[in-house]
Amino acid sequence: MAGSAELGRLIAELPKERLEQVFTHASWAEERAESYERLEFLGDSVLELAIARSVFDRFEDASEGRLAKIRAHVVSRQTCAGVAKELGLGERLSEYAGDIAPDELQRISRSRNVLAAVLEAGIAALYLEHGFEQIEPSIVAAFAEKIEYASSSHVDYKTE
């Protein structure tokens, strides 16, 4: 959790309008573009770049294939959902849920796909607010344990 604390703080400090979009599920938005989906699209690329740069710099002797496997594991839905849980992003969804039934909210806030999407949306919002250079260290720190695990294990995110 220590590595993800800075990323969590940055997300929590986003402007209200950005937070609303980060935590608005598509089924809650009047218009789909008001949900986190567009931000998720951008955040996925920002996350991939931050992790790719980190593993490229860190593992100078690794082959392209090995770097790709490490990156794929680190940016996988499962890993992103785990980081989102560490940051408490699922619980934050309730602040923006409106009149959603509690059982539906619970289902959505525990969904691996939703958690990963919200994390990526948060990363995109940070990128738009601060730029890549400012947020890259916080992203890498939040995923540091995952990078370490992927680099020291035989990982294949498609079979996990």
- The pLDDT tens digits of the residues spanning 85-119 come to 999 999 898 888 777 788 888 888 889 999 999 99
Q: State the CB neighbour count (10 A cutoff) for residue 4.
A: 24
Q: Are 35 and 120 in contact (CB under 8 A)?
A: no
List the catalytic residues.
Answer: 44, 120
Residues 78/83/87/93 CA torsion (nearest 10 deg): -30
Name the CATH superfamily housing domain 2-155: Ribonuclease III domain (1.10.1520.10)
pTM of structure: 0.90
